[in-house]
Amino acid sequence: MTLDPFMVMLLDVLVKAIVIVVALLGAYAYMTLAERYVMARVQVRIGPNRVGRVGPIAVLQPVADAVKTIFKEDFCPANADKIVYTLAPGLAVAIALLAWAVIPLSPPLTIAGYTIHFYIADVGIAALYLLAVGSLGVYAIVLGGWSSNNKYSLLGGLRSAAQMISYEVSLGLALVGVLMISGSLSLVDIVEKQSPIWNVVWQPVGFVLYCICAVAETNRVPFDLPEAETELVAGYSTEYGSLKFALFYMAEYINIVTVSAIAATMFLGGYQGPFGLLPGAHWLLLKIAVFIFIFMWMRATLPRFRYDQLMRFGWKVLLPLGLANVFATAVVMVLLGR
């Protein structure tokens, strides 16, 4: 039986996309649980210990949370812009998932003459694609904040727009250094070129810059001004409830996994092990897990920036540092004659 190559390609992409989406949704559910345990530990509490316990861990807690969220009333404020209000949470999740199309998860595997690539697409502009998709993420929050017709929501949305645009610039600059030494925009190439030595060795400043900007882009502590509860109730998501709120929450957690995966791919060798040991998806998962833990750790321990501090830090510290890093990388590369 001969298979139409186009149909094979389509099936291949569909299966991978479904697997990745399901895996990310599962990761979201259990990240909420993990975060509660990490926070509990930091605050010397026990954490969730009632629902479906296996040993000390409440394994079924996310299921209970999901059921509770689904059965909440799906409320829409009277003067809200109904279409945009409904669209915004879905948009948030869709955009958060899009980045995964280009992230390579594991080296290719050949089974029975058919080579499986563990990425959905290896496009020549993958790094630009990531930045482009990332730059769309702000829409969901801004639209959600605006359409709720509530001043706290609107303020949260506007803050997030200003914050994400400001930090996006430095985020892009932080990645430029890696792109320069890799000489490619394809994430598969970038990972392959880190085989013996990871990019973080050559780009330590870029790595730190990326990590700071990534936290800002995901609106997490200490950059969670869009939903600063002491000032803005819950910011852009104030008027959201039920599944719509859950979707915003989901987008935030998927974004955390995404920026962690990008950091691991760009700077820490992706699926490459240290010194080229046993490359495989397990290394990528381990690196992502460490990043996620640091995100939770920061949430439990750091205070929030003030708005003017946030802007000053972004434009007067991170941006010049990013430019200097690009300049220094270029000079060193010319001097080394690469």
Partner 1 sequence: MELAIFYLFASIAIVAALGMVVLRNAVHSALSLAVVFVALAALYVLLNAPFIAAAQVMIYAGAILILFVFVIMLLSPRVDQGAGALKWQRPLAALCGLVFAVELAIVAASALLPTERGPFTPERLAEIGDVQAVGALLFTDFLLPFEITSLLLLVAMVGVIVLAKKR
Among positions 220-259, residues that touch partner 1 (CB under 8 A) are: none
Q: Does the protein bind partner 1 through residue 300 (CB under 8 A)?
A: no
User: By rule CB under 8 A, what count of residues binds partner 1?
Assistant: 27
Judged by CB under 8 A, which of 63, 125, 201, 290 binds partner 1? 125
| Least Å from the CB of residue 158 to partner 1 | 6
The count of other CB atoms within 10 Å of the CB of residue 121 is 14
Interface positions, 67-86, toward partner 1 (CB under 8 A): 81, 84
| Backbone φ and ψ of 150, nearest 5° | -140, 135
Q: Smaller CB distance to partner 1: residue 96 or 296?
A: 96
Q: Give the containing element (helix H, strand E) for 104.
A: none
Q: What is the DSSP string of 60-114?
A: THHHHHHHHHHTS-----TTS-HHHHHHHHHHHHHHHHHGGGS---S--EEETTE
CB of 159 to partner 1, least distance (A): 11
Answer yes or no whether residue 123 interacts with partner 1 by CB under 8 A: yes
Candidates 116, 136, 278, 328; binder of partner 1 (CB under 8 A) is 136
Binding marks (x or -) toward partner 1, 1..30, rule CB under 8 A? -----x------------------------
For residue 111, what is the enclosing H or E element?
strand 109-111
- Integer Cα distance of 170 and 156 in angstroms: 22
Minimum gap (Å) between residue 84 Cβ and partner 1: 7
Written as one letter, the residue type at 100 is W
Tell me if 119 contacts partner 1 by CB under 8 A: no
Question: What DSSP assignment string belongs to 114-133?
Answer: EEEPSSS---TTHHHHHHHH
Q: Considering only the stretches 103-111, 140-148, 262-270, 295-303, report the one whose residues sit in contact with partner 1 under the rule CB under 8 A.
A: 140-148
Please state, in angstroms and as integers, the Cα–Cα distance from residue 259 to each residue in 79, 83, 263, 267, 308, following that order.
Answer: 35, 29, 6, 12, 25
C-alpha 212/C-alpha 323 separation (Å) is 15
Q: Return the ∠ at Cα 189 (arms to 185 and 192), rounded to 5°.
A: 145
User: Contact between 138 and partner 1 (CB under 8 A)?
Assistant: yes
CB atoms within 10 A of CB 25: 14
Restricted to residues 143-202, the positions that interact with partner 1 (CB under 8 A) are: 143, 146, 154, 157-158, 161-162, 165, 168, 185
Which amino acid, residue 191?
A: V
Residue 104 binding partner 1, by CB under 8 A:
no
* Residue 145 CB, nearest approach to partner 1 (Å): 8
Q: What is the DSSP letter of 52?
A: S
Residue 323 as a binder of partner 1 (CB under 8 A): the answer is no
Interface residues with partner 1 (CB under 8 A) are 6, 81, 84, 123-125, 128-129, 131-136, 138-139, 142-143, 146, 154, 157-158, 161-162, 165, 168, 185
